[in-house]
Amino acid sequence: MDIQKLENLLKEVKAGKTSIEKALAQLKSLPFEDLGFTRIDHHRSLRKGFPEVIWGEGKSSGQILSIVRQLKKKGQNVLITRLEKRKAIDIQKVFPKSRYYPRSNVLTYLTQPVKPTGKGTILVVTAGTTDIPVAEEAVVTAQVMGNRVETLYDVGVAGIHRLLAEREKLETARVLIVVAGMEGALPSVVGGLVDRPVVAVPTSIGYGTSFGGVTALLAMLNSCASGVAVVNIDNGFGAGYIASLMNKM
Amino acid sequence: MDIQKLENLLKEVKAGKTSIEKALAQLKSLPFEDLGFTRIDHHRSLRKGFPEVIWGEGKSSGQILSIVRQLKKKGQNVLITRLEKRKAIDIQKVFPKSRYYPRSNVLTYLTQPVKPTGKGTILVVTAGTTDIPVAEEAVVTAQVMGNRVETLYDVGVAGIHRLLAEREKLETARVLIVVAGMEGALPSVVGGLVDRPVVAVPTSIGYGTSFGGVTALLAMLNSCASGVAVVNIDNGFGAGYIASLMNKM
Amino acid sequence: MDIQKLENLLKEVKAGKTSIEKALAQLKSLPFEDLGFTRIDHHRSLRKGFPEVIWGEGKSSGQILSIVRQLKKKGQNVLITRLEKRKAIDIQKVFPKSRYYPRSNVLTYLTQPVKPTGKGTILVVTAGTTDIPVAEEAVVTAQVMGNRVETLYDVGVAGIHRLLAEREKLETARVLIVVAGMEGALPSVVGGLVDRPVVAVPTSIGYGTSFGGVTALLAMLNSCASGVAVVNIDNGFGAGYIASLMNKM
Amino acid sequence: MDIQKLENLLKEVKAGKTSIEKALAQLKSLPFEDLGFTRIDHHRSLRKGFPEVIWGEGKSSGQILSIVRQLKKKGQNVLITRLEKRKAIDIQKVFPKSRYYPRSNVLTYLTQPVKPTGKGTILVVTAGTTDIPVAEEAVVTAQVMGNRVETLYDVGVAGIHRLLAEREKLETARVLIVVAGMEGALPSVVGGLVDRPVVAVPTSIGYGTSFGGVTALLAMLNSCASGVAVVNIDNGFGAGYIASLMNKM
Amino acid sequence: MDIQKLENLLKEVKAGKTSIEKALAQLKSLPFEDLGFTRIDHHRSLRKGFPEVIWGEGKSSGQILSIVRQLKKKGQNVLITRLEKRKAIDIQKVFPKSRYYPRSNVLTYLTQPVKPTGKGTILVVTAGTTDIPVAEEAVVTAQVMGNRVETLYDVGVAGIHRLLAEREKLETARVLIVVAGMEGALPSVVGGLVDRPVVAVPTSIGYGTSFGGVTALLAMLNSCASGVAVVNIDNGFGAGYIASLMNKM
Amino acid sequence: MDIQKLENLLKEVKAGKTSIEKALAQLKSLPFEDLGFTRIDHHRSLRKGFPEVIWGEGKSSGQILSIVRQLKKKGQNVLITRLEKRKAIDIQKVFPKSRYYPRSNVLTYLTQPVKPTGKGTILVVTAGTTDIPVAEEAVVTAQVMGNRVETLYDVGVAGIHRLLAEREKLETARVLIVVAGMEGALPSVVGGLVDRPVVAVPTSIGYGTSFGGVTALLAMLNSCASGVAVVNIDNGFGAGYIASLMNKM
Amino acid sequence: MDIQKLENLLKEVKAGKTSIEKALAQLKSLPFEDLGFTRIDHHRSLRKGFPEVIWGEGKSSGQILSIVRQLKKKGQNVLITRLEKRKAIDIQKVFPKSRYYPRSNVLTYLTQPVKPTGKGTILVVTAGTTDIPVAEEAVVTAQVMGNRVETLYDVGVAGIHRLLAEREKLETARVLIVVAGMEGALPSVVGGLVDRPVVAVPTSIGYGTSFGGVTALLAMLNSCASGVAVVNIDNGFGAGYIASLMNKM
Amino acid sequence: MDIQKLENLLKEVKAGKTSIEKALAQLKSLPFEDLGFTRIDHHRSLRKGFPEVIWGEGKSSGQILSIVRQLKKKGQNVLITRLEKRKAIDIQKVFPKSRYYPRSNVLTYLTQPVKPTGKGTILVVTAGTTDIPVAEEAVVTAQVMGNRVETLYDVGVAGIHRLLAEREKLETARVLIVVAGMEGALPSVVGGLVDRPVVAVPTSIGYGTSFGGVTALLAMLNSCASGVAVVNIDNGFGAGYIASLMNKM
């Protein structure tokens, strides 16, 4: 039953053609989704100011282009993650204003200026330089969602003074994203230095028993510092997203 | 918004006090669950003839008794799984007609006769005698749900002739539940002998690398026989339940 | 001992050349398989109307062609799974009427029309679009086995309204196959909405701790919904096969 | 070198007894912690209004009492987690105003009223009733840290209408903690319904392949919903703590 | 169809009451097991001189006693493994001539003298003294099956000279069983010293990353020495059994 | 100290130049290996009639050729495993009489006829056709070591009649090697049918939860049939080797 | 062949009764161990000044007492690890001068003063207070082996200033043992601060995904700091032992 | 605050422009890192005589060249690990005096002679020839750090006499690095033969259940020999580094 039908039902009630009892019965059995339920979803999109993220993996350039065209029509900004360079080139041919980040395989296409809706700064910290691609995915995600983002790279725990030298940066951030592979110890140390939520992102950096990031993940889940929560391995996007939700609170 | 409010809204439409446009808007934003959605759930219960299973673990005797009393009022039959003997005694004091199966820690309490709604026979097969407690959970579940159940115990693959000697039983069953621990090979062999769906139940029987049933589970998931699907380790209830759904088709 | 020998033995008994005792002894030691045992297998094939599935992986185009030729002679329909495109081209050159599904790497070759022996509809549901290749393997398998199949794609739990909007489709299916990667939650939700058996298929879609489908598999095995059984990761064929067995009950 | 020594050094500089060069050299080699570094830590405590959580496991009643006495002197509120009932009784004998939560093994001792510093409501949701002990640890933690907490228990995904019936509660919360064992699917569904950060807590509820909460954990890490971050299995405290940090932003 | 029926069928053929065609058809559809198939199993028992092993775990004293009584009637020797002391006492009350080995939880009851059918010596070697219970299970099994068994205990690889000092013993054995926990290295060293098959038995001795014997098992499976095959963790019985099969070749 | 020195020492003793005490002292401190210890190794080689197996992986064609040349000089037969086709071609150019088995990546080079020293037949059984490469490695190994080998391929447990039809072959073998991937159930069934040692070889055949052969391995280790021992995944060589040791007993 | 036989052989050579050739042949085939090989082992003991450690687990009080008595006769100091309190009481009754450490289940019995042979200080560091039992095992082991040991407890990375406040202690140690459970991050931080070898000891402290110390172990193996090596979970003894070897270099 | 500011502060104190109280307050709040903290790091570098190791993986030739140029300016020696041949060629074009080790993917560039600061010999032992690349990484690392290194390759435990024949070499080394894949047993045997610390390095050599080195790692962690500590799989660099630290003690 679509809106038209619902309108007709109300008209019939008004006109006395359908009794209230019958109308009630029909309404109760209405598939709820016909009652504009999807509009709620629409509202969510508007409220968030960030309607759609495209997961690039497993989609052809053609499929992606088709989605981007639809989003452009609606005047929405676009974020594509896990996009191979080859496909990015295809998309940039059609949308030359889009921007591709080759380290993190992210593409953004801004059809309208990003509104700065985040209240403070999100600080993205990495243990090593090889963690930067994952960090960048978080950075771009948070920026496109309207946040001011700063970075602090290559401050792993084996040279703790490099981290401590940046205490001010750590303490002034409103939300922190900490990205680390190998033993994944950095979020524990950072979590002990700040009073803000820390989103920990394990990366698949390492070899042998790093098990593609599992060791870093486990370490982060077992952090002896309070105030740390964890996302999936290499999930820079997820970290940027939830950090943005926090920064808008 | 409850039914009363909905009725009032319709009355206002009928009386012309609320325009159709406004009514439409209000209806669209109605929490759908107020439209009798939960009634659907009620219907499901009636349709299944088996409204509620109680998971006994982690509930006190008092809590369980309270639930059973409510179900009794509604005239529903009761199945309690994972019920320690100690609690079963408490329940049988209050409901002496209930029946407890100590091997499988299952208790049934029939407030009305079970209707035989299953169309054929469900055959429950085990590899060893130590698998019987899990099998019994499946048997009782299927029986309480209205199925005729037969059993074929201790026909593991190391003595394949014991199984083959019962080919007729295997071939006349409408649904088969095959319960095995250790190497979990029996569902593959049974699956190769019959044309009916086989529900495989790994058990935690074994030692060393049986890993509490994981080995049997993995073997069953990798069955080279078609027509086999698997439930969780020691999940006799789940096997009995889905087998019953099939047998009523 | 083949049939000829058995016949001769009986003739000798009849003619009094062999005593009943000796005949008994000989019969007891007969390799049972010579007694037409394989015929039973043959019967199974006929009964199922679906004699042979070819696992394409690890077989050369030549080997596959040779098997297909034999099956064609017997007038049997053919289903080949896990068939690389390269080999599919080889086969389609020889059997141009065969049909290849490149997404799911399945090839069908119908030497006779498929008989519609399934009693109801099998509904194949996926959480995301990347799960479709596995779903398609299930769809084609079920169709070739004589079932009416419908699909409901991209209704994952993160946008639960998309699923709920299709409740009618869910409720009218006779058997449901639910295909999901990542957290594998969809079968639990679907299993809670329907009264029919749900065959859950984990897919290897995901990254990091999705562990190639293991996370989805574990989630499905631990479904809090009753009525769910699970097949191996990416095993669309197995799901289609057992769903077909159910739909013919 | 303590403050006294530092003061003396400055006096010597002032008095010309120590050259500026020598003073600089001495200052450079000062153990930084002597320069009031620990005071920073002290500041953190004051700022948070929540200085010390005691991990009860592995500590004797005597050890715990001694710590509580020290904290009481400083006028600080106390939260003790993982405290066996036996030890709780010992502590309540000495501090009868302390409050023990036997389900979650948490004890609180408020030496001063909790200041309501959280800005909105933290909603704690559970999939089943057996998840409540972990949820309660989160509830008490968040309350003692100055947050208004609401709960929504037993709304697991197998009966999705129970969850959907409470959409208003979900949508008005500022932070959500979602607690689930077994297949751990609830955070994905909740995460798809709200625009707020979701802290997912896997519990060790389940059997067989639930692997003491690992399955739920993996499912949560692989959530297809954005805006979900995860803490360790059964870590209600950690969830309450980080949710509180968010709610004070 | 039992033997009687088969005899009747042949009589009818002889008497001309049943045509050969009909007899053939009936014979073909005979359940093969009725043709004395189980007799083969009987023959196996006789041939092995070792008909039945009872797995004591999960069986009550009463159940075990009942099985032992049946075996005694047939004049068969009995081996019970994984038998708790408590049950052993029950059995020894009834069968005082039975012998219980408390270290390995094995009970033997010889109703007839063991025939020495093994051709050479089976040598059972352990790495440490804590591995002896598992070794003893192998020793008793092999002895009861008619083998001469020698032992060489506590010759682990960290003191390699202890092992090398016994080279003669190693070289004169016909089959070797090597039992080790922890790093499980002993079978590799032994396998490099002898030309005989080595049956490796991992034990659950160890702590931390010994993972209940998994580490020893994995080491044994990866032995760089040829001529080593492995049984399940703590499976002394299995090792004794297969070593006995070899020693009778 | 080499033999020359030892001889000199004895001469000095004989000549009275060195006292017996001093000679004893010198002998005690002799590095044992100088006493011809490596000769023992030499003896082992001669005794086995099979001195050297070359593991081809990680060695260049040049390195392998150099080893083969040395072995040829000594008149020894050569077996090379895990040899890529590319290297095999290099070797066959130099040693055209060598024979390469491309399915199993094995190369043999017989510099002298193989002596038939095995006492009976080794039967190599596979569950599927994709297991044949691993089986072939076992076959060639056993043949080159002087054994008569028979094969029985594609008799997996899902079509149990195919296996049972070959009972005679199974029962007349002296040693059995059973090769299976997927659920690895075949060794259990075979082990229940024969009285001979069964060497089980898991293969990495399968997908999803077959985990590269781990599932098959675990199933084999947990075999409910006695008389089964296991080698590493895909270790056809190891199986052929130990089976040969047994067949020479 | 024992020394007596060797002496006789030499006498025969001297007397001309045995030719040098024959003597050579006999000597070559001597079991090397008879040549005083075990004496080397004896030498090792003397050299180390620490002959025997008793692993208390799985040994009865009687067995342990018997070993201690033997060691006492030889004037050797004794270290018993993993000794339950109950057994310790038995031993202290007989040897009242022995000392038991109940936290770490270690008992020492000094029959002679410990010689201070370590060259510098071994520093034992822990992350938390619950790690102290494992640390104490290391402390006692190192002390009994003749080392000066200092400790630094409860300086985990979540409060990094506590660790940094003790930099002098860290920098003056000659060898460091770092003990940590949960996320196991401490060795990385310590390793980055010092130029000395760090022996990392994971402990089984934690819950949920700490997996009994596996997470800490993995983190330590993946340390981004150079100069860290790892021992088994909870292996305080092993850490103390190898640290002692280093400190004596 | 940098040194200049600190100097100014002291000058002001001296000049009486700033009170001691104010100066104290300012000093207490100084970011410690400004007090020359990083100089400590500098000192560490000088002290070690080995300032910087470059992890080649994930860095471009350009990035590496830029780092090498900086290090060259400071007159520091360079060690690059995990460097692909392709990049090594790029670097050798610019720095022709650098030396590349293709087996181990290590490049060294000595801008000054290596000072022999190690006190004894480091012995690097391997089980097989395929372990040599990892061993070589350890060898080069230790050499560049100023140690005398000897090697003992291919002395795995399956031919124990090869190892024992080199006892002298083993016993004269000051530190031992033992490299092994497959079952990883060699460190246990070596650890039992020497009184020196053994650094065990598992390698990813093997197949099937070697699990990329995990089996070897687990075996080494569970070594029954005391005096063994372990580094990550294939971490030859880490082993060489910590062995060098020991050898300089």
Taking CA atoms, what residue in A is nearest to B9? A20
Residue type, E165: A
Any G CB within 8 A of D232 CB? yes
Q: What angle do CA E162, E152, F241 make, to 5 degrees?
A: 95
pLDDT, tens digit, 9 for 90 and up, residues A86-134: 999 999 999 999 999 999 999 999 988 898 889 999 999 999 889 999 9
C24 min Cα distance to partner chain B (Å): 19
Percent of chain D with pLDDT over 70: 87
What is the predicted pLDDT for the residue at C5? Answer: 67
What is the predicted pLDDT for the residue at F139? Answer: 97
What is the predicted pLDDT for the residue at B138? Answer: 97
CB < 8 Å to F119, chain E: 249
What is the predicted pLDDT for the residue at H5? Answer: 67
What is the predicted pLDDT for the residue at C32? Answer: 38
Query: Collapsing DSSP states into helix, strand and coil, what is residue E50?
Result: coil
pLDDT, tens digit, 9 for 90 and up, residues D179-200: 999 999 999 999 988 989 999 9
Q: Taking 60 as the threshold, does the pLDDT of residue C28 lie above it?
A: no
Contact (Cβ atoms closer than 8 angstroms) between residue G78 and residue G71? yes
Q: Taking 70 as the threshold, does the pLDDT of residue H46 lie above it?
A: no
Neighbours of H219 (CB within 10 A): 33
Q: Taking 80 as the threshold, does the pLDDT of residue F36 lie above it?
A: no
Contact B185 F183 (CB under 8 A): yes
Contact E219 H219 (CB under 8 A): yes
Nearest residue to C79 via CA among F130, B226, B187:
B226
What is the predicted pLDDT for the residue at B189? Answer: 94
What is the predicted pLDDT for the residue at G36? Answer: 30
What contacts G3, CB < 8 A, 6 or more positions away? Answer: F24, F28, G34, G36
Q: Taking 60 as the threshold, does the pLDDT of residue G30 lie above it?
A: no
Report the distance separating Cα E70 and Cα E66, nearest Å.
7
Residue from H8, H27, H41 to probe the interface with D (highest D Cβ count within 10 Å): H27
Contacting chains of C (3 CB pairs or more, <8 Å) are: A, B, D, E, F
Average per-residue pLDDT for chain D: 86
Contact A227 D241 (CB under 8 A): yes
Bridge partners of A152, per DSSP, are A125
Kindly report the length of chain A.
Answer: 249
CB < 8 Å to E233, chain B: 207-209
Contact A29 B36 (CB under 8 A): yes
pLDDT, tens digit, 9 for 90 and up, residues B29-48: 443 333 333 223 333 443 44
What is the predicted pLDDT for the residue at D38? Answer: 30
Contact A221 D227 (CB under 8 A): no
pLDDT, tens digit, 9 for 90 and up, residues H5-24: 677 888 888 888 888 878 77
Query: What are H13's two structure tokens?
Result: 């104190």
Choice among D13-27, D135-149, H43-57, H63-77 with the minimum mean pLDDT: H43-57
Burial F188-208 (b: 16+ CB within 10 A, else e): bbbbbbbebbbbbbbbbbbbb
Q: Taking 60 as the threshold, does the pLDDT of residue H47 lie above it?
A: no
B234 min Cα distance to partner chain F (Å): 17
What is the predicted pLDDT for the residue at F28? Answer: 54
Any H CB within 8 A of F40 CB? yes
Residue from G43, G160, G246 to probe the interface with H (highest H Cβ count within 10 Å): G246
pLDDT, tens digit, 9 for 90 and up, residues D58-99: 888 998 998 888 888 877 889 999 999 999 999 999 999 999
CB < 8 Å to D196, chain A: 245, 249
What contacts F115, CB < 8 A, 6 or more positions away? Answer: F49, F146
Taking CA atoms, what residue in C is nearest to D158? C192
pLDDT, tens digit, 9 for 90 and up, residues B182-214: 999 999 999 988 989 999 999 998 889 999 999
Contact (Cβ atoms closer than 8 angstroms) between residue H173 and residue H150? yes
Taking CA atoms, what residue in F is nearest to G23? F10
Angle between helices G236-247 and G132-144 (to 10 degrees): 40
Q: Taking 90 as the threshold, does the pLDDT of residue C21 lie above it?
A: no
D15 min Cα distance to partner chain H (Å): 7
Choice among C24-33, C161-170, E79-88, F138-147 with the minimum mean pLDDT: C24-33
Contact B7 A28 (CB under 8 A): no
Q: Where are the beta strands (DSSP E) in chain B?
A: 53-55, 78-81, 99-101, 106-109, 121-126, 148-152, 175-180, 198-202, 228-230
Percent of chain G with pLDDT over 90: 54
Report the distance separating Cα E216 and Cα E207, nearest Å.
12
Average per-residue pLDDT for chain E: 86
Contact (Cβ atoms closer than 8 angstroms) between residue D90 and residue D61? yes
Q: Taking 90 as the threshold, does the pLDDT of residue F35 lie above it?
A: no
Half-sphere exposure of G96 (CA within 13 A, CB side): 0
Report the distance separating Cα A16 and Cα A10, nearest Å.
10
Residues 66 through 125 of chain G touching chain H, CB cutoff 8 Å:
119
Choice among C197-201, E58-62, H211-215 with the minimum mean pLDDT: E58-62
Which of E221, E237, E242 lies at the smallest CB-CB distance from F197? E242
Residues 138 through 167 of chain G touching chain H, CB cutoff 8 Å:
none
Interstrand relation of B99-101 and B106-109 (parallel, antiparallel or unpaired): antiparallel
Neighbours of A4 (CB within 10 A): 8
Higher pLDDT, B101 or G26: B101
Average the pLDDT over E26-33 and give the result: 49
G70 min Cα distance to partner chain F (Å): 26
pLDDT, tens digit, 9 for 90 and up, residues E94-122: 999 999 999 999 999 998 889 888 999 99
Kindly report the length of chain G.
Answer: 249
Higher pLDDT, G212 or G26: G212
What contacts E3, CB < 8 A, 6 or more positions away? Answer: C24, C28, E34, E36
Selection from B96-100, C7-11, C28-32 with the highest mean pLDDT = B96-100
List C-alpha distances in Å: A176 to A139, A173, A180, F115: 11, 7, 13, 73
pLDDT, tens digit, 9 for 90 and up, residues D17-48: 888 878 776 665 443 333 333 323 333 443 44
Burial category of F116 from C-beta neighbours within 10 Å (exposed 0-12, middle 13-18, buried 19 and up): exposed
Contact E208 H222 (CB under 8 A): yes
Contact (Cβ atoms closer than 8 angstroms) between residue H222 and residue E182? yes
- φ and ψ of D55, to 5 deg: -85, 110
Residue type, H84: E
Neighbours of C44 (CB within 10 A): 16
List C-alpha distances in Å: G79 to E131, G72, G110, G246: 22, 12, 9, 19
Average the pLDDT over B63-75 and give the result: 86
Percent of chain B with pLDDT over 70: 87
Neighbours of E235 (CB within 10 A): 29
Which of E127, E156, E209 lies at the smallest CB-CB distance from H218? E209
CB < 8 Å to H57, chain A: 130
Average the pLDDT over G210-222 and give the result: 94
Average the pLDDT over G7-23 and give the result: 84
Kindly report the length of chain B.
Answer: 249
Kindly report the length of chain F.
Answer: 249
Report the distance separating Cα A9 and Cα A27, nearest Å.
9
Residue from D179, D218, D232 to probe the interface with A (highest A Cβ count within 10 Å): D232
Q: Taking 80 as the threshold, does the pLDDT of residue H59 lie above it?
A: yes
pLDDT, tens digit, 9 for 90 and up, residues G103-134: 999 999 998 889 888 999 999 999 988 999 99
What contacts C68, CB < 8 A, 6 or more positions away? Answer: C54, C78, C80, C91, C94, C95, C109
Average the pLDDT over F199-208 and give the result: 93
What is the predicted pLDDT for the residue at A32? Answer: 38
Indicate contact of A with F: 3+ CB pairs under 8 A: no
Q: Taking 50 as the threshold, does the pLDDT of residue F46 lie above it?
A: no
Report the distance separating Cα H91 and Cα H109, nearest Å.
10
B63 confidence band (pLDDT: 50, 70, 90): confident
Which of H3, H13, H32 lies at the smallest CB-CB distance from D13? H13
Average the pLDDT over F113-136 and give the result: 93
CB < 8 Å to E205, chain G: 58
Report the distance separating Cα C235 and Cα B227, nearest Å.
12
Element (H, E) at D3: helix D3-14
Indicate contact of E with A: 3+ CB pairs under 8 A: no
Residues 180 through 209 of chain C touching chain B, CB cutoff 8 Å:
195-199
Q: Taking 70 as the threshold, does the pLDDT of residue B2 lie above it?
A: no
Residue from G1, G7, G9, G10 to probe the interface with F (highest F Cβ count within 10 Å): G10
List C-alpha distances in Å: A172 to A120, A121, A123: 9, 8, 9
Report the distance separating Cα C173 and Cα C247, nearest Å.
10
CB < 8 Å to E218, chain B: none
B170 confidence band (pLDDT: 50, 70, 90): very high
Neighbours of F66 (CB within 10 A): 11
Contact (Cβ atoms closer than 8 angstroms) between residue G173 and residue G118? no
B5 confidence band (pLDDT: 50, 70, 90): low
Any D CB within 8 A of G58 CB? no
Residue from D126, D130, D186, D188 to probe the interface with C (highest C Cβ count within 10 Å): D188
Report the distance separating Cα H213 and Cα A207, nearest Å.
11
G171 confidence band (pLDDT: 50, 70, 90): confident
Contact F221 E222 (CB under 8 A): no
Pairs of residues, one from chain B and one from chain C, whose beta carbons lie less than 8 Å apart: 85
Nearest residue to E231 via CA among E243, E246, E247:
E243
F186 confidence band (pLDDT: 50, 70, 90): very high
What is the predicted pLDDT for the residue at F42? Answer: 35
Which of B14, B28, B39 lies at the smallest CB-CB distance from A14? B14
Burial A201-214 (b: 16+ CB within 10 A, else e): bbbbbbbbbbbbbb
Report the distance separating Cα E240 and Cα E81, nearest Å.
12
Which of B37, B217, B234 lies at the smallest CB-CB distance from D207? B234
What is the predicted pLDDT for the residue at B27? Answer: 66
Report the distance separating Cα H75 and Cα H112, nearest Å.
7
Burial category of B187 from C-beta neighbours within 10 Å (exposed 0-12, middle 13-18, buried 19 and up): buried
What is the predicted pLDDT for the residue at E28? Answer: 54
Average per-residue pLDDT for chain H: 86
What is the predicted pLDDT for the residue at G103? Answer: 93
Neighbours of G47 (CB within 10 A): 10
Contact G227 H246 (CB under 8 A): no
Neighbours of D158 (CB within 10 A): 23
What is the predicted pLDDT for the residue at B31? Answer: 39
pLDDT, tens digit, 9 for 90 and up, residues E209-229: 999 999 999 999 999 898 999
Contact H226 G241 (CB under 8 A): yes
Contact A14 B16 (CB under 8 A): yes
Q: Taking 80 as the threshold, does the pLDDT of residue H74 lie above it?
A: no
ipTM of the modeled complex: 0.82
Q: Taking 70 as the threshold, does the pLDDT of residue A42 lie above it?
A: no
G243 confidence band (pLDDT: 50, 70, 90): very high
What is the predicted pLDDT for the residue at H39? Answer: 29
Any F CB within 8 A of C233 CB? yes
Any F CB within 8 A of H33 CB? no
What is the predicted pLDDT for the residue at E50? Answer: 61
pLDDT, tens digit, 9 for 90 and up, residues E122-176: 999 999 889 999 999 999 999 999 999 999 999 999 888 888 888 889 989 999 9
Any C CB within 8 A of A41 CB? yes
Percent of chain H with pLDDT over 90: 55
Burial F230-244 (b: 16+ CB within 10 A, else e): bbbbbbbbbbbbbbb
Query: Collapsing DSSP states into helix, strand and coil, what is residue G163?
Result: helix
Interstrand relation of G228-230 and D78-81 (parallel, antiparallel or unpaired): unpaired
List C-alpha distances in Å: C183 to A138, B230, C37, E2, G217: 21, 18, 46, 55, 27
What is the predicted pLDDT for the residue at E3? Answer: 59
Residue from B207, B210, B211 to probe the interface with E (highest E Cβ count within 10 Å): B207
Contact (Cβ atoms closer than 8 angstroms) between residue F111 and residue F78? yes
DSSP class of residue G190 equals H
Query: Collapsing DSSP states into helix, strand and coil, what is residue G30?
Result: coil
What contacts A18, CB < 8 A, 6 or more positions away? Answer: A9, A12, A26
Report the distance separating Cα E220 and Cα E200, nearest Å.
7
- Note the maximum CA span of chain E: 81
Taking CA atoms, what residue in G is nearest to D55? G130
Contact (Cβ atoms closer than 8 angstroms) between residue H75 and residue H112? yes
Average the pLDDT over C109-128 and give the result: 92
CB < 8 Å to E193, chain H: 160
pLDDT, tens digit, 9 for 90 and up, residues C204-232: 988 899 999 999 999 999 998 989 999 99
